[in-house]
């Protein structure tokens, strides 16, 4: 049986500002021509000092000096609703975008989530994670659900606030026909003129309308109104234009207060990641590359480039908590050149997500739940320290010692890396100096802290003359002509040293047999 | 002494059950899982017969190149055989411009061909080169949190206050106990007298050719005399070569010169 859930987000512009940052002070959303800005929504701290919707912004600012007045941006509200629809797509494939809310067909997906109550709980807690409050109602027809949700919205915010409503209550029971008859006409959301006319006629409830003769009603108020009434009753087909999720994820949060410290970005980032998780769940996908971008206000007339914060993962991931933990580590390396105004999250490519445990071994009792997996460890280290500081090593087929290895970015997988068999038979040191260190010599005897005794060698390494690339500063030498020795000093340090074959015939320390 | 022996035999008859004496080998069952170090002389003295897993192991050494990593290599190779992963946290970058020998030695990176020859699995090893001592401790902590990790090898920053060092080690020790990883930390010998929560502490010195391990602390009775391990090929011990004063021409090059002679003959 089809079951429709109507969600209405009351005071959406205010919610958009409030969900971006925790604990903001008096806040008002204003609208109108620049000279006559009117308050249309205000939050609880603003109401506490006496600001009410409909007030002039100047009057409101006189009441609360620290009042933040934000202009309404209808296009941002639409973008936020579209983002919310992308999030809601995880609960139902039938999502309908409406000007101030959503419609979801949940009847066919409730078994996927267990039962109706669990699905409802998942939606309510998910909305709370996103920072939204919504009025919602279930009904068998979309128009009916919408009417009931509108009633729930006007009935009181307490009913609509998901945090105050215990999520365990389960879905509100949907109304029978006689309950619909008792609803006031205003819940139909018809235009004000029609409502006034009906009111003047002494018609108050939907039941009053239904008692009128149908053809006379159609003649007086138009056939469209009659059709709408039929849809409310669920007796007329009501096809809906379904939402289709986009191919990539893009979400933006306007920050109502300037953010200058990176730690403060965590809160809006969590909201974005919660939205991303829902979107990815709906698409059964995971992300490997997340791009956060913080825009800044222009400083001294010059526009500042946005700060991009990349998050790269080894395997597709969508768990918001894990991503938030990684983002937190990544933030340690970020500096904001100026206070941030907006935070954007973009995921261009979606990857197939397989929901296997990252570790196939069952967690032992000893591990508890505190263990981090190997993969997560690699990503955490990588996120905090960057790819230059977290790496893997690989042996390379080359006779020149400094070219016989290379550092690689971490790739985690089970595919065995082709390990070249050692092309030398003589022992190599476990530690190598990145640049050979010149050693002083006393006559023919080199010194490192103390005179060195040569115990093995020479091993002549003379190669690389074909490598014509000019050696850049700091890069390993191209052609080497050296005699390598194993040396030992009185402190017991075993060293790998060489002597240049070319003219000054200097001694160099290259490795340590650690 | 005779009285003591008599007392012992008396105790034996009185108690009846086998008597454990403090100067005997430590009781193996009392310690957790261990991993053989690969050196019989060392395993004999380690409680449980090997490196303790899930416990902090402190190696105190000043000079790089005395064999401190060769000591760990057999155990790490065993872990590679078991397809376990390893994290190395290398010494943090030193900001000081003073070019001391220890600063130079701290710059050295593990050399991949030698590690591969020693049997380590490079595909399952992550190396971390921290920028600051704080990152160093952070990386060690994060690594010890990981499940199924085989070993962590980390260099600890040289000098903090003894108290803060102890707190940092204590944190590492507690984290190490969560899992079965081998947790090796390398520190300077300055800390030999400082208190430490590690269950196994070793002072690594060299007697010239061999590595001498002084067990500062272990479970069970203390060991007074150091253990010496031979880590180098036998022919290195006594060998002594001289550097030639002039570069010798390689035999191969001589052969090349020789081959040109018939060519010359043909031409003439």
For residue range A210-254, what is the model confidence (pLDDT) as tens digits?
A: 888 998 889 988 899 999 988 888 888 888 899 999 999 999 998
Buried b (16+ CB within 10 A) or exposed e, A88-117: bbbbbebbbbbeebbbbbbbebbeebeebe
Give yes or no for residue A162 having a pLDDT over 50: no
Contacting residues of B for A449, CB less than 8 Å apart: 101
Split at pLDDT 50, 70, 90, the class of A418 is low
Contact at 8 Å (CB) between B20 and B165? no
**Mean pLDDT for the stretch of residues A466-475:** 55
Model pLDDT, residue B265? 47
In whole angstroms, give the CA distance from residue A101 to residue A4: 13
- Of B104, B116, B178, Cβ closest to residue A419: B116
Cβ of A316: how many Cβ atoms within 10 Å? 17
Q: The tokens 């809601």 sit on which residue?
A: A88
Tokens 């003769």, located at residue: A213
The pairing of strands A38-42 and A27-31 is antiparallel
Would you put residue A305 in left (φ > 0), alpha (ψ -120 to 50) or beta?
beta
Tokens of A12: 């959406």
Residue to mutate among B69, B84, B86, B146, with most A CBs inside 10 A, is B146
What was the pLDDT predicted at A115? 87
Residue B177: HSE in the Cβ half-sphere, 13 Å Cα cutoff: 9
Please state the rounded mean pLDDT for residues A106-114: 88
Provide the pLDDT for residue A176.
67
In this structure, the number of other CB atoms found within 10 A of the CB of residue B258 comes to: 9
Average pLDDT rounded to a whole number, residues A395-422? 71
Which of A361, A429, A495 is the closest to B148 by Cβ?
A361
Mean pLDDT of A440-461: 86
Contacts 24+ apart (CB under 8 A), B254-263: none
> Per the structure block, which two tokens stand in for A250?
């893009």
**Per-residue pLDDT at A130:** 92
- Please give the pLDDT value at position B23: 60
**B 1-60 near A (Cβ less than 8 A):** none
Please give the Cα distance from A109 to B146 (Å, whole number).
37
Q: Which of A366, A391, A501 is closest, CB to CB, to B247?
A: A501
Backbone φ, ψ for residue A263 (5° rounding)? -60, -30
Beta-bridge partners for A308 = A293
Helix and strand element counts for chain A (H, E): 15, 22
| Helix A223-233 × helix A142-155 angle, to 10° | 90
Share above pLDDT 90 across residues of chain A, in percent, rounded to a whole number: 21
Rounded distance between C-alpha atoms, residue B263 and residue B268, angstroms: 9
Cα–Cα distances (Å) from B110 to A260, A407, B65, B89, B91, in that order, read 40, 11, 12, 11, 11
* Distance from C-alpha of A347 to C-alpha of A344, rounded to nearest angstrom: 10
Q: Do residue B242 and residue A455 have CB atoms under 8 angstroms apart? A: no
Q: How far apart are CA A163 and CA A261, in angstroms?
A: 29
List the single residue in A with minimal CA-CA distance to B126. Answer: A392
Report helix angle A223-233 to A214-221, nearest 10. Answer: 130
At residue A325, the 3 state secondary structure works out as helix
| pLDDT for residue A460 is more than 90 | no
> B130 at the A interface (CB within 8 A)?
yes
Residue with tokens 């087929």: A397
> Closest approach of chain B CAs to the CA of A141, in angstroms?
51
Q: Which residues pair with A138 in a beta bridge?
A: A5
Is-contact B152 B138, C-beta < 8 A?
Answer: no
Altogether, the residues listed in chain A come to a count of 514
Tell if the CB–CB gap between A511 and B111 is shorter than 8 Å. Answer: yes
User: Taking CA atoms, what residue in B is nearest to A417?
Assistant: B123
Low-confidence ranges of chain B (pLDDT < 70): 1-2, 15-31, 94-99, 159-160, 239, 243-268
Task: Give the residue carrying structure tokens 């191209």.
Answer: A478
Chain A hits for B233, Cβ within 8 Å? 427
Q: Which two tokens stand for residue A101?
A: 């809310």
pLDDT at A85 over 70: yes
Q: What is the mean pLDDT of residues A287-309?
A: 86
Report CB contact under 8 Å: B206, A406. Answer: no
Q: Across the interface, do B145 and A430 touch by the CB < 8 Å criterion?
A: no
Q: How confident is the model at residue A137 (pLDDT cuts 50, 70, 90)?
A: confident
Tell me the pLDDT band of A174, cut-offs 50, 70 and 90: low
| Chain B: residue whose CA lies nearest to A397 | B113
B104·A433 Cβ contact <8 A? yes
- CB of B208 within 8 Å of a chain A CB? The answer is yes
Res A396: pLDDT: 83
pLDDT for A400 equals 85
User: Concatenated DSSP letters for A280-327?
Assistant: HHHHTEEEEEEEEEEEE--BTTBPPPPEEEEEEEEEEE--HHHHHHHH
Mean per-residue pLDDT, A156-165: 44
Buried b (16+ CB within 10 A) or exposed e, B88-103: bbbbbbbeeeeeebee
Comparing C-alpha atoms, which of A189, A7, A159 is closest to residue A81?
Answer: A7
Q: How far is C-alpha B127 from the geometric centre of its chain's CA atoms?
A: 16
Whole-number pLDDT of residue A374: 74
- Do B131 and A416 lie within an 8 Å CB cutoff? no
Q: With residue A102 as reference, give the H or E element that holds it.
A: strand A101-105
Show residues of chain B in contact with A378, CB under 8 Å: 126
Please report the pLDDT score of residue B255 as a whole number.
46
CB of B262 within 8 Å of a chain A CB? The answer is: no
* Beta-carbon separation of A374 and B117 below 8 A: no
Spatial strand order of the sheet with A450-451 comes to A441-442, A445-448, A450-451
Q: What is the largest CA-CA distance in chain B?
A: 105
The alpha carbon of residue A442 is apart from the nearest alpha carbon of chain B, in Å, by 13
- Which of B78, B175, B179, B138 shows the shortest CA–CA distance to A390? B138
Q: What is the ipTM of this complex?
A: 0.82
Count other C-beta atoms under 10 Å from residue A479's C-beta: 14
Distance from CA of A266 to the nearest CA of B (A): 20
How high is the mean pLDDT of chain A?
A: 83
**Counting Cβ atoms within 10 Å, is residue A471 exposed (0-12), middle (13-18) or buried (19+)?**
exposed
- Alpha-carbon distance A254 to B184, whole Å? 48
Structure tokens at A171: 């879905």
The distance of Cα B2 from the centroid of its chain, to the nearest Å, equals 43
User: Which among A21, A85, A491, A19 is positioned nearest to A266, based on CA atoms?
Assistant: A21
Q: Are A42 and A29 in contact (CB under 8 A)?
A: yes
What contacts 24+ positions apart, CB below 8 Å, involve A463-468?
A463/A399, A463/A400, A464/A399, A464/A400, A464/A403
Contact A492 B242 (CB under 8 A): no
Contacts of A377 in chain B (CB under 8 A): 87, 126, 142-143, 145-146, 149
pLDDT value for A315: 76
Nearest CA in chain B to A409: B126
Residues in chain B: 268
Q: Is A167 within 8 Å of A125 (Cβ atoms)? A: yes
**Given an 8 Å threshold on Cβ–Cβ distance, is B243 in contact with A389?**
no
**β-pair partners for B186:** B59, B155
Residue B152 is predicted with a pLDDT of 94
- Measured between CA atoms, how close is A332 to chain B, in angstroms? 11
Where residue A175 falls among pLDDT bands split at 50, 70, 90? low
How many other CB atoms are found less than 10 A from the CB of residue B63?
20
> Which pLDDT does position B90 carry in this prediction?
92
The backbone torsions φ and ψ at residue A23, rounded to the nearest 5 degrees and listed phi first, read 55, 50
| Contact flag A454-B105 (C-beta cutoff 8 Å) | no
Torsion angle defined by CA atoms of residues B98, B99, B105 and B106, in that order, rounded to the nearest 10 degrees: 30
Tokens of A435: 């640049």
Q: How many CB atoms lie within 10 A of CB B123?
A: 21
- Please count the residue pairs, one from chain A and one from chain B, whose beta carbons lie less than 8 angstroms apart: 222
Q: Strand B182-187 relative to strand B56-60: parallel, antiparallel, unpaired?
A: parallel
CB within 8 Å: B114 and A427: yes
d(CA B54, CA A113): 41
Query: Which chain B residues are within 8 Å of A512, Cβ to Cβ?
Result: 64-65, 105, 108
Between residues B123 and A474, the one the model is more confident about: B123
Q: Identify whether the C-beta of residue B205 lies closer than 8 Å to the C-beta of residue A492.
A: yes
Alpha carbon of A341: minimum distance to chain B alpha carbons (Å): 30
Residue of A nearest to B116 (CA): A395
B107 contact A CB<8A: yes
């Amino acid at each position: 049986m089809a079951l429709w859930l109507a969600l209405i987000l009351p005071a959406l512009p205010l919610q958009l500002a409030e969900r971006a940052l925790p604990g903001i002070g008096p806040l008002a959303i204003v609208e109108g021509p620049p000279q006559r800005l009117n308050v249309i929504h205000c939050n609880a701290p603003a109401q506490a000092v006496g600001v009410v919707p409909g007030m002039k912004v100047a009057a409101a600012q006189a009441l609360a000096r620290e009042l933040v007045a934000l202009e309404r941006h209808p296009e941002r509200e639409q973008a936020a609703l579209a983002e919310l629809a992308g999030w809601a797509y995880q609960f139902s494939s039938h999502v309908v975008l409406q000007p101030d809310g959503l419609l979801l067909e949940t009847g066919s997906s409730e078994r996927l989530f267990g039962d109706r109550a669990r699905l409802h709980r998942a939606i309510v807690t998910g909305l709370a994670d996103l920072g939204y409050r919504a009025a919602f109602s279930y009904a068998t027809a979309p128009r009916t659900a919408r009417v009931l949700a509108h009633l729930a919205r006007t009935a009181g915010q307490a009913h609509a606030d998901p945090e105050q409503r215990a999520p365990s209550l389960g879905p509100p029971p949907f109304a029978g026909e006689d309950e619909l008859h008792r609803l006031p006409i205003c819940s139909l959301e018809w235009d004000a003129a029609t409502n006034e006319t009906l009111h003047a006629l002494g018609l108050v409830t939907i039941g009053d309308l239904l008692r009128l003769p149908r053809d006379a009603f159609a003649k007086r108020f138009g056939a469209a109104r009659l059709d709408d009434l039929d849809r409310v009753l669920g007796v007329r087909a009501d096809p809906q234009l379904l939402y289709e999720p986009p191919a990539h994820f893009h979400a933006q949060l306007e920050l109502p207060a300037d953010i200058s410290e990176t730690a403060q970005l965590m809160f809006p980032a969590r909201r974005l990641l919660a939205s991303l998780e829902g979107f990815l769940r709906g698409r059964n996908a995971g992300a490997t590359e997340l791009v956060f971008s913080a825009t800044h206000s222009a400083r001294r007339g010059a526009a500042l480039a946005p700060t991009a914060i990349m998050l790269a993962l080894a395997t597709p991931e969508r768990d918001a908590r894990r991503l938030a933990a990684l983002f937190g580590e990544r933030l340690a390396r970020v500096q904001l050149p100026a206070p941030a105004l907006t935070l954007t999250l973009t995921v261009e490519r979606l990857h197939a997500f397989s929901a296997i445990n990252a570790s196939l071994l069952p967690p032992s009792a000893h591990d508890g739940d505190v263990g981090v997996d190997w993969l997560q460890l690699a990503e955490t280290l990588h996120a905090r320290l960057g790819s230059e500081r977290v790496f893997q090593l690989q042996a390379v087929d080359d006779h020149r010692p400094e070219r016989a290895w290379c550092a690689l970015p971490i790739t985690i997988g089970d595919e065995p890396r082709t390990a070249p068999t050692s092309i030398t038979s003589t022992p190599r040191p476990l530690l190598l100096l990145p640049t050979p260190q010149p050693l002083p010599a006393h006559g023919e005897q080199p010194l490192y802290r103390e005179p060195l005794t040569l115990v093995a060698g020479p091993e002549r390494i003379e190669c690389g003359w074909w490598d014509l690339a000019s050696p850049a500063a700091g890069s390993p030498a191209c052609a080497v002509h050296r005699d390598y020795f194993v040396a030992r000093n009185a402190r017991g340090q075993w060293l790998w040293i060489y002597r240049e074959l070319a003219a000054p015939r200097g001694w160099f320390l290259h490795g340590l047999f650690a | 002494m005779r009285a003591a022996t008599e007392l012992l035999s008396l105790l034996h008859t009185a108690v009846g059950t086998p008597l454990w004496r403090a100067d005997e080998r430590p009781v193996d069952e009392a310690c957790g899982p261990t991993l053989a170090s690969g050196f019989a002389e060392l395993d004999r003295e380690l409680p449980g017969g090997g490196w303790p897993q899930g416990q902090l192991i402190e190696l105190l050494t000043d000079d790089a190149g005395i064999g401190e990593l060769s000591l760990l290599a057999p155990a790490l190779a065993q872990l590679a055989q078991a397809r376990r992963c390893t994290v190395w946290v290398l010494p943090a970058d030193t900001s000081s411009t003073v070019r001391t020998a220890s600063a130079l030695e701290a710059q050295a990176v593990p050399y991949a061909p030698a590690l591969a020859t020693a049997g380590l699995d490079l595909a399952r090893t992550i190396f971390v080169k921290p920028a600051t001592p704080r990152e160093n401790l952070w990386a060690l902590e994060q690594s010890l949190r990981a499940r199924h990790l085989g070993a962590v090898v980390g260099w600890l920053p040289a000098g903090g206050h003894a108290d803060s060092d102890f707190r940092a080690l204590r944190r590492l020790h507690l984290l190490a106990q969560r899992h079965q990883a081998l947790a090796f930390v390398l520190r300077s010998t300055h800390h030999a007298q400082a208190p430490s929560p590690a269950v196994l502490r070793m002072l690594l010195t060299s007697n010239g050719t061999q590595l001498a391990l002084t067990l500062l602390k272990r479970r069970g009775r203390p060991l007074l005399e150091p253990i010496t391990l031979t880590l180098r090929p036998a022919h290195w011990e006594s060998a002594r070569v001289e550097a030639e004063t002039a570069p010798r021409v390689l035999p191969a090059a001589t052969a090349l010169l020789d081959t040109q002679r018939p060519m010359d003959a043909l031409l003439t």
